[in-house]
Amino acid sequence: MQPLTDLERQALLDLAREARRRAYAPYSNYPVGAALRTKSGRLFTGCNVENAAYPHGMCAERVAIFKAVSEGEREFEALAVVTPNGGSPCGGCRQVMAEFGLDMRVLIGDGEGRLLRETTVADLLPGAFTPRDLPR
C-alpha cells in the first residue's frame, strides 16, 4: 500500500471534521466524525449517533464503514477519526475495521483537524480475531 500524502491525510481529516459537526451526541457531548477512503477511491463519512437507550447508539467509524459496505465497497485504504481530544477508536470499532483489513491506515485527529497519530488497524488491535480464524 502506498503511503498517504500530506494533502490526502489532511483531506480525510477535514472530511471527518465536517462529519463531526453532524454528530448527535446529546448524552456524552463527545461528537465524533469519521471519513473512510476505499481502495477504489470512494469516500464515505460518518458521525456518532447516540440514543437515550445507550447501547443502541452507533460510533462514527462504524457508520462510515457500514455506509461503504452498503454501497458495495469491501476494500478500505484509510480511515480518519476526529474527536474533541484525539481519542482512539473503541474496541467495537477496531473489531469492525479488522474485518476489512488489518493493513488499513487509521488517522486520529483532534477537534481542530490536526493529525495526532497515524497507525494501522493491526497496531490498534493486536491479535485480532478475523475471518481467517473461523473454520471453513
Q: State the catalytic residues.
A: 61
Whether the CB-CB separation of 116 and 86 falls below 8 Å is answered with yes
Cβ–Cβ under 8 Å, residues 23 and 17? no
- CA gap 111, 13 in Å, rounded: 10
Which among 83, 91, 72, 134 is positioned nearest to 107, based on CA atoms?
Answer: 83
d(CA 114, CA 50): 25
CB 59 within 8 Å of CB 97: no
Question: Facing residues of 57 across strands?
Answer: none
Whether 97 and 106 have beta carbons less than 8 Å apart is answered as yes
